[in-house]
Amino acid sequence: MEVEFYFDIACPQAYLAYTQIEGLEARHGVQVVFKPVSLTGLYRIWTSHEEAPQSRLSPARRRMEHRDLMRQAEALQVFLNEAATLDPPSSVDAMRLIVGAPADLRPTLIRNLFQVLWVDGEDVGNRGVLEWIAEVSGVDPALMDRSEVRKELDAATEAAANAGVFGVPSFRVDGRLWWGLDRMSFMERTLGGAAEAPPVTHRSGGRIEFFHDFASPFSYLGATQIEAFAALHGAELIWRPILLGGLFKRIHTPLVPLSVMSRPRREYMARDLMDWAETWNVPFQFNSEFPLNTLLALRVALAVPALTLPLYRAAWADNRDIGQPEVIAQVIREAGMAPEHVLALAGRDEIKDRLRANTEAAEAMGACGVPTLRVNDRLVFWGQDRFDMVHRALEGWMPAIDAQARI
């Protein structure tokens, strides 16, 4: 079986994925087919629809993604030159060199380019550096200037886009696409790998704050797991409802990020949500009333935290519009509580103030979306796909990037 690996050496996540390729081949007996593309070319193809490239993301999201990147590298025990991640060079000429290189020399060239950029911190946008790498790799440096090579890279990038690729690293197996280093485990299950075993824990205790909003389907998925996860670790769980739209306004993020994504990215997100729901064996359907008005639901959850999961299930398992007061009242009634009493509690000024305070706290700690989890008032993780890192943090892990920030 073949695994197509779409990459651009300018992407540090692609480098981290590259370091895992040999293990993938060994575990599953597959052949990885390298598919060089231009990341800037992909952005250009989707530019009228796609969410902003990295350079135009909000400062809060850039900071969060940078910290997450360095944590991923440390978790994989792969050295990543942090300075290089802060200002990646142009890689167009390097990718042309890869495309033009003879097939038997291409693996060496790719390895050398990744090494020089992400380990040594050299500027592969510099022609002199590129010529040196080409010569060391036995490749003619003049290849990058040939018109047919330029056309070949453009054609490869367009073909990738036509196959639904909108970013790197991406993987395709039998026409199914996965995007991102952190989705390699999903791909491996398709290749016949076993599901990941639950983390071994020593009931380390600690405290987990779960910042969330019913508006997010990913927040729902995380919410279905967080209670059992906290119990496994003997950790205190604190629900922190926030007004996601308020956070987005504060950090200058589109109020409905889905609306500014390209068609293939929206389609990919829909499949990704189903992958997580199937992995965790929880019911899920995308709410037909999206985007949801969740203000009242958030206040209800603050007043009575036990209603958090029933409200999530109503929205993302049962496709009910929890933006409607009568629907919320019915959910409360189904939970065995008196709607009049709960809604009266939710209308108190102290509840409104707490929702505002939670949202401000999320912004202050650098949150850029939900779910966001804070461990022991120190480490902040974004996404339902970071439970592995939360587990390590509860076991005492202090990533170097976070330790440096506290010096």
**What would the mean pLDDT of 258-284 be, rounded to a whole number?**
95
Q: Which of 162, 190, 218 is the last residue of a domain?
A: 190
pLDDT, tens digit, for every residue of 3-24? 999 999 999 999 999 999 999 9
CATH assignment at residue 324: 3.40.30.10
What is the rounded distance in angstroms from the CA atom of residue 97 to the CA atom of residue 139? Answer: 8
| Same domain, residue pair 264 and 180 | no
Q: Which of 159, 190, 221 is the last residue of a domain?
A: 190
pLDDT, tens digit, for every residue of 161-186? 999 999 999 999 999 999 999 999 99
Counts of helices then strands in the chain (DSSP H, E) = 20, 8
CA 81 to chain CA mean position, Å? 21
Mapped onto helix, strand or coil, the DSSP state of residue 175 is coil
**Strand pairing category for 170-173 and 2-7:** antiparallel
Q: Is residue 201 one of the residues assigned to a domain?
A: no
Q: Are the C-beta atoms of 64 and 8 separated by less than 8 Å?
A: no
Residue linked to tokens 């033009």: 100
What is the rounded distance in angstroms from the CA atom of residue 31 to the CA atom of residue 50? Answer: 31
Domain that holds residue 244: 207-400
What is the rounded distance in angstroms from the CA atom of residue 60 to the CA atom of residue 57? Answer: 8
Q: Which of 137, 158, 190 is the last residue of a domain?
A: 190
Mapped onto helix, strand or coil, the DSSP state of residue 241 is strand
Q: Is residue 95 one of the residues assigned to a domain?
A: yes
DSSP string of 87-130, one letter each residue = SPPP-HHHHHHHHHS-TTTHHHHHHHHHHHHHTS---TTSHHHH
pLDDT at 47 over 90: no
| Same domain, residue pair 95 and 151 | yes
> What Rg, from alpha-carbon coordinates, does the chain have?
23
| Same domain, residue pair 173 and 298 | no
| Same domain, residue pair 119 and 237 | no
Q: Is residue 311 one of the residues assigned to a domain?
A: yes
Q: Is residue 196 one of the residues assigned to a domain?
A: no
**What would the mean pLDDT of 153-160 be, rounded to a whole number?**
98
In this prediction, residue 201 carries a pLDDT of 75
| Same domain, residue pair 91 and 238 | no
Residue linked to tokens 């350079």: 55
Nearest CA to 139 out of 107, 171, 178 is that of 107
| Same domain, residue pair 128 and 247 | no
pLDDT, tens digit, for every residue of 372-396? 999 999 999 999 999 999 999 999 9
Q: Is residue 257 one of the residues assigned to a domain?
A: yes
Nearest CA to 355 out of 207, 206, 208, 214 is that of 214
Q: Is residue 153 one of the residues assigned to a domain?
A: yes
| Same domain, residue pair 177 and 217 | no
How many domains does one find in the chain? 2
Mean pLDDT of the chain: 95
What is the rounded distance in angstroms from the CA atom of residue 276 to the CA atom of residue 123? Answer: 38
What is the rounded distance in angstroms from the CA atom of residue 111 to the CA atom of residue 114? Answer: 5
